[in-house]
Amino acid sequence: MTNRLINETSPYLLQHAENPVNWYPWCEEAFSEAKAKDKPIFLSVGYSACHWCHVMAHESFEDVETAKLMNTDFINIKVDREERPDVDSIYMRAVQAQTGRGGWPMSVFLTPDGKPFFGGTYFPLHEGHGIPSFTRVLRAISQAYQEQRKEITESAEQLIAHLNSGVMSSQGQEPLTSEILTRAFDGLVAEFDQKDGGFSTAPKFPQPMIIEFLLRYYNRTGQTEALAMADMTLEKMCRGGIYDQIGGGFHRYSTDAIWLVPHFEKMLYDNALLSKLYLHAYQITGRQEYKRIVTETLDYVIREMTNPNGGFYSSQDADSEGEEGKYFFWEPTEVEQILGEDLGKLINRYYGVGEGAHSDGENILHVHKSAEDVCNEFGINQAELDVKLANAKAKLLPYRQKRIAPGTDDKIITAWNGMMIGAFAEAAAVLKRADYLEISLKNATFILEELRSPSGRIKRTHKKAVSKLLGYLEDYANMIDGLISLHALTIDLKWLNEANSLATDMLNLFWDNKNQSFYDTGNDHEKLIMRPQDYFDNATPSGAAVASDVLLKLAILTNNTKYKEVGNTMLRSLRMVISRAPMGFGHWLCVLDFHLSTPKEIALVGSTKDTRTQELIDEVFGRFLPNKVVSGFQPGQGNDYIKYPLLKDKHMLENAPTAFVCQNYTCNLPTIEASTLSNQLENS
């Protein structure tokens, strides 16, 4: 027996299609039914890779008696938060306002018109640790709805009023200055874990936007403490269990403070943000370890997270065979059997297999001993160790792939694909990987062809040849960001034209001239209890922050004053909270760093088939230069370039590929020599 979710495409919703619960997807029919029967709504929000979502489903939603209670007293709606970030954002803010915390699964009780009056996260089957059982909650809510309707209605209205209060301040006359960045950095220093890196205790999340800001702050000020904080965190993470030491890629977060025991789900967005972050750290430090992390992570995405048509999948589950992390555990004897005794003992020692169980008696691979200690113990040098590690991974990975793997959520989300387009494009440039560029190009082509309606409207998600749901602000902004990166690397105006066109659409759909702010949903979106605006960075950068970022870059590339005005307006409106609460505004700090700089404007003219053009491109991307815009065109591909001020009147010298380094459209002498370009990038 199935319920209405059987007609959905979301893997998460389909996981619940055979529950005895009479689930509805988010739809008008559910709300009409609640009004007609005068029943409260139970809204359950989660995602496919969420471990505790699975636990609650097995305990409660698959239980016939619990389902009877749900079906009798409630209209039940199940939502995939990855498909509907607007619904997730609104009701997560409600839960956080009521309980002081949030998470998934999210469990919210609503009036028939969708207004929240009680919420929480995971409710267990049996009471414990101060958490009531789910059935107890259901009975209490049902009784309260019947007997205390007036109080519930008033509470819901008050909560909605609170949610509409927002975080933006008036723009005022105070200038945006580097002092804001300094105050934010000082705040981060106070919250930094000096022992294990990162921020807070446990659970501990990677916080890539914050670490990216630390790298930028070091680049701006030369403050070595900023680099040390970033370097320590990145090293601890990539040597911990949060990183998949055999297959590459990062798990979502660590349950402890030392990055050892993760929740084992892997998210596309984490690996896009972290691969780019490690790439930037490699540019600054030159550490080969960071370069390896980038390639292993991106190679993992190619191997396990890429659709044959070029789209990137959303996530991989934490569980396999009903056990979280089982796919990733190893026994010492197992490793020695696969690798042989000598290499097996070295690998066990290096990765801490058998050195003390880490998770319910299981071993999680992590760098247990330093490379120097292992080399001394086994009488080898660093080069020999590197070879042995590579050989071991080449044998252990195929062996692991024979196990029952965690499930993959194979829906394709535009925003996360845009992030990964940028990661592959930048890595292609820095690491000189032509295959990475091809992957980035294929993905961008797929998104623009398959997730864009005939009218030009970007869609949110794609699965089984079906693209659906109107794209959100973050979908447009991240896709534009990826296209800007592609244009910089290929100097193909096709990608800049697409980015510029999407930016115009983004402003028309999401920018409110009256309130001078971005909304997360378009003006063509369905009407909800409120139109969401989320300016905080969460696991991904705020859509408004990415939108402001790309608009400030496009303002230079196009000289469109509206783009610049919108980007500056957002920064001024948030200037107070950016410095006071830096942990929630990492990407905004990066945007502000760009705004306060005088970005280098780099124009390249030449055929990408000419190796000399590639030498110039390699020079541009051969250093950490975050505050730059790169544009260019290839002769013989039309006159489209003349509409872009940075490219207008730019021509090749001596019929050779030529570079122009400018600031505020004032340029150095053009050059055809990579060495001269290098000097201009360093000194201008």
Which sequence spans correspond to the domains of the chain? Answer: 4-163, 178-320+409-596, 326-405, 600-683
- Whether pLDDT at 684 is above 80: no
Cα 45 to Cα 87, 105, 108, 190, 269: the distances in Å are 9, 6, 8, 34, 19
- State pTM to two decimals: 0.95
H-type alpha helices, 107-148: 134-147
Report the pLDDT value the prediction gives residue 145, as an integer from 0 to 100: 95
Cα–Cα distance, 413 to 312 (Å, whole number): 8
From 459, 260, 239, select the one nearest 356 (Cα to Cα).
260
From 367, 247, 241, 351, select the one nearest 296 (Cα to Cα).
247
Cα–Cα distance, 192 to 212 (Å, whole number): 15
Phi, psi of 44 (to 5 degrees): -115, 120
Per CATH, 4-163 and 178-320+409-596 having the same topology is answered no
Sequence-ordered list of residues with C-beta below 8 angstroms from that of 548, at least 6 positions apart, any chain: 566, 567, 570, 571, 588, 591
Report the pLDDT value the prediction gives residue 37, as an integer from 0 to 100: 97
Cα–Cα distance, 61 to 540 (Å, whole number): 29
- Whether pLDDT at 168 is above 70: no
Phi, psi of 306 (to 5 degrees): -120, 130
Report the pLDDT value the prediction gives residue 171, as an integer from 0 to 100: 58
Lowest mean pLDDT across 164-173, 264-273, 537-546 = 164-173
Query: Could you tell me the two tokens for 42?
Result: 């139970």
Q: How many CB atoms lie within 10 A of CB 572?
A: 20
Sequence-ordered list of residues with C-beta below 8 angstroms from that of 517, at least 6 positions apart, any chain: 168, 511, 533, 544, 570, 573
| Token pair 């496009």 in the structure block, residue | 554
Quick: pLDDT tens for 113-126: 999 999 999 999 88
Which parts of 60-214 are beta strand (E)? 75-80, 106-110, 116-120
- Whether pLDDT at 355 is above 90: no
Q: How many CB atoms lie within 10 A of CB 346?
A: 23
- Residue 468 pairs in a beta bridge with 461
| Token pair 């090293």 in the structure block, residue | 235
Cα–Cα distance, 93 to 415 (Å, whole number): 21
Percent of the chain residues past pLDDT 90, beyond the cut:
90
Categorize the per-residue pLDDT at 197 as very low, low, confident or very high, splitting at 50, 70 and 90: very high
Quick: pLDDT tens for 415-474: 999 999 999 999 999 999 999 999 999 999 999 999 999 999 999 999 989 999 999 999
- 322 or 555, greater pLDDT: 555
Q: What is the mean pLDDT of the chain?
A: 95
Write b or e for each residue in 180-215: b if 16 or more Cβ atoms lie within 10 A of its Cβ, otherwise e: bbeebbeebeeebbeebbbbeeeebbbbbbbbbbbb
CATH number of 178-320+409-596: 1.50.10.10
Categorize the per-residue pLDDT at 361 as very low, low, confident or very high, splitting at 50, 70 and 90: confident
Q: How many CB atoms lie within 10 A of CB 411?
A: 25
The average pLDDT across 350-359 equals 85
| Token pair 């070295």 in the structure block, residue | 346
In the chain, % helix, strand, coil (3-state, to 5) comes to 50, 15, 35
- Whether pLDDT at 405 is above 60: yes
Cα 668 to Cα 166, 371, 441, 644, 662: the distances in Å are 45, 46, 31, 18, 6
Sequence-ordered list of residues with C-beta below 8 angstroms from that of 125, at least 6 positions apart, any chain: 59, 60, 63, 66, 133, 134, 135
Architecture of domain 600-683: 3-Layer(aba) Sandwich (3.40)
From 414, 391, 283, select the one nearest 343 (Cα to Cα).
391
Residue 594 contacts residue 567 (beta carbons within 8 Å): no
Q: How many CB atoms lie within 10 A of CB 13?
A: 23
Report the pLDDT value the prediction gives residue 200, as an integer from 0 to 100: 83
| Alpha-carbon torsion, ordered 177, 180, 182, 186, to 10 deg | 170
Quick: pLDDT tens for 207-265: 999 999 999 999 999 999 999 999 999 999 999 999 999 999 999 999 999 999 999 99
Query: Could you tell me the two tokens for 491?
Result: 């100097």
- Whether pLDDT at 652 is above 60: yes
- Whether pLDDT at 518 is above 60: yes
Cα–Cα distance, 120 to 105 (Å, whole number): 9
**Which helix (H) or strand (E) segment is 631 a member of?**
strand 628-633
Q: How many CB atoms lie within 10 A of CB 287?
A: 16
Residue 95 contacts residue 157 (beta carbons within 8 Å): no
Report the pLDDT value the prediction gives residue 165, as an integer from 0 to 100: 76
Report the pLDDT value the prediction gives residue 166, as an integer from 0 to 100: 64
Categorize the per-residue pLDDT at 574 as very low, low, confident or very high, splitting at 50, 70 and 90: very high
| Token pair 């499930």 in the structure block, residue | 407
Sequence-ordered list of residues with C-beta below 8 angstroms from that of 45, at least 6 positions apart, any chain: 78, 79, 80, 81, 87, 88, 91, 92, 104, 105, 106, 108
- Whether pLDDT at 280 is above 80: yes
Quick: pLDDT tens for 45-75: 999 988 899 999 999 999 999 999 999 999 9
**Which helix (H) or strand (E) segment is 332 a member of?**
helix 332-339
Cα–Cα distance, 440 to 429 (Å, whole number): 11
Task: Classify domain 4-163 at the CATH superfamily level.
Answer: Glutaredoxin (3.40.30.10)
Phi, psi of 266 (to 5 degrees): -120, 130
Percent of the chain residues past pLDDT 70, beyond the cut:
99
Residue 24 contacts residue 76 (beta carbons within 8 Å): yes
Categorize the per-residue pLDDT at 162 as very low, low, confident or very high, splitting at 50, 70 and 90: confident
Cα 175 to Cα 25, 103, 594: the distances in Å are 47, 37, 15
Amino acid at 421: I
- Residue 324 pairs in a beta bridge with 319
Residue 50 contacts residue 120 (beta carbons within 8 Å): no
Query: Could you tell me the two tokens for 565?
Result: 């005005």
Sequence-ordered list of residues with C-beta below 8 angstroms from that of 646, at least 6 positions apart, any chain: 556, 557, 601, 603, 629, 631, 662, 665
